[in-house]
Amino acid sequence: MNTLLNKKKEPIDKLAAASGRSLGGEALRRMLRSPVAITGGAITGLFLLLAIFAPLLAPKDPLDRTLQDQVQLGRGIIPGSMPGYPLGVDDFGRDFLSRLIVGAQQTLLVGVLATVIGVLIGVLIGGIAGAFGGWVDTVLMRLVDVMLSFPSLLLAISIAALFANPSQWTVILAVSMVGVPIFARLLRGSMLVQRDADHVLAATSLGVKRGAIVFRHMLPNSLGPVIVQATLTLATSILEAAALSFLGLGDPDPSRAEWGLMLGKASRQFLDIRPELAYYPAIAIIIVALGFTLLGESLREALDPKNRR
């Protein structure tokens, strides 16, 4: 073994600090200073809290059709605001406010699940394509191209319509498919760039095994755009699920409280009787989508290496 002599050290002040600051840590710091991030984070955070604690927060049982006898659809009457029912009731006499609150839970579920499934499948496809290259890459990307050639809503509709028995899960699956080609392309693109990166070449020349290179060098540096896109996709997934329900391709069960469902039914049937039944779910969806989008945008800016220093 060669012996290395001690070299005189350069006087370097900055390096005297003991611990290191990782890129993730710096990104977080930057986000905490950005008003956009804080706004987006606040909205998203509130929404998450609402969704998690919904059953506790709802004043009344959303399934309880107590005031059903007060609803006379034939005569165009759905009771509005009254003591105990601040937002009135829906077409089945259920407390509207409670349904809105509980709806947060279902909506979040749809958004998160659709995104997560989309990410998992997309990252798998993109990762394989990017890691192997060659004909594997070509074949997979042509498949992705086909999926991408559909407008997103049309793709979701087509897939949802394939199922004989529409349900919450068919909606989630259909919406997740919209995200798959996006994430696949995104990851594969990043991995392609990484493949030619000097530090990947360095790892190869050091004799590091191929698997380790993919998982330690290429993937972590490629996931940034995917994470950002995921937050944005969360927002659009909620919107697309709502659209599917609106078109009647979603869960036909009327007792389920989900903003998209509520919006769909109300905007088809009750707009002239009690338009609030459609407005409030719509506004709720928009606010949540905004929250996720702001968060995603500020995350993208925070992770952008050009903003460093």
Partner 1 sequence: MNQPAGDVLLEVSDLKVHFPIKSGVVFDRTVGHVFAVDGVDLAIRRGETYGLVGESGCGKSTLGRAILRLNEPTSGSVKFDGTDVARLKGEELRKARRRMQMIFQDPMSSLDPRQSVESILVEGMHAHGLDKDKEATQRRLRQLLSAVGLPETSLRKYPHEFSGGQRQRIGIARALAVEPDLIVADEPVSALDVSVQAQVVNLLEDLQDQLGLTYVVIAHDLAVVRHISDRIGVMYLGALVEETDADSLYRDPLHPYTRALLSAIPVPDPQVEDTREQILLAGDLPSPANPPSGCRFHTRCPWKQASLCDTDRPQLREIGSGHRVACHYAEDIRDGRIQPHEVKPELVELTGALNPDLGPPDIGTSAEIL
Partner 2 sequence: MALLEVRDLTVDFVRRGERPFTAVDKVSFDVEPGQTVGLVGESGCGKSVTSLAIMRLLARRGNKVSGSVRFEGTDLLTLSDRDMRDRRGRDLGMVFQDPLSSLNPVIPIGLQITEVLERHRGMSRKAASVEATDLLDKVGIPDPARRLSEYPHQLSGGMRQRALIAIALACRPRLLIADEPTTALDVTIQAQILALLRELVQDTGTALIMITHDLGVVAGLCDEVNVLYGGKIVERAERHQLFGEPRHPYTHGLLASIPRLDAGRGEKLVPIRGSVADNIPWDGGCAFAPRCPNALPVCREVSPQLVPDHGGLLRCHNPVRPAVVAGGGAR
* Binding residues vs partner 2 (CB under 8 A): 10-14, 33
Task: Give CA–CA dist 186/293, Å, rounded.
Answer: 18
Q: Is the dihedral of CA 27, 33, 37, 40 positive or negative?
A: positive
Residue 56 contacts which entry, partner 1, partner 2, none (Cβ below 5-8 A, type-dependent): none
Cβ proximity to partner 2, 10 vs 69, nearer residue: 10
Q: How far is the CB of 135 from partner 2 (least distance, A)?
A: 30
181: closest CA among 244, 105, 129? 129
Q: How far is the CB of 44 from partner 2 (least distance, A)?
A: 23
Q: Where does this chain bind partner 1 (CB under 8 A)?
A: 1-2, 4-10, 12, 14-23, 138, 141-142, 145, 185, 189, 196-199, 201-209, 212, 216-217, 220-221, 305, 308
Task: Give CA–CA dist 109/50, Å, rounded.
Answer: 12
Cβ proximity to partner 1, 71 vs 303, nearer residue: 303
Work out the number of other CB atoms within 10 angstroms of the CB of residue 60: 18
Beta-bridge mates of residue 72: 77
Residue 149 contacts which entry, partner 1, partner 2, none (Cβ below 5-8 A, type-dependent): none
Residue 99 contacts which entry, partner 1, partner 2, none (Cβ below 5-8 A, type-dependent): none
Q: How far is the CB of 196 from partner 2 (least distance, A)?
A: 19
Residues 40 and 292 sit within 8 Å (Cβ to Cβ): yes
Residue 187: what are its φ and ψ, rounded to 5°?
Answer: -70, -40
220: closest CA among 127, 156, 105, 115? 127
Q: Token pair for residue 141?
A: 């990307």
Cβ proximity to partner 2, 39 vs 221, nearer residue: 39
Residue 2 contacts which entry, partner 1, partner 2, none (Cβ below 5-8 A, type-dependent): partner 1
Residue 13 contacts which entry, partner 2, partner 1, none (Cβ below 5-8 A, type-dependent): partner 2
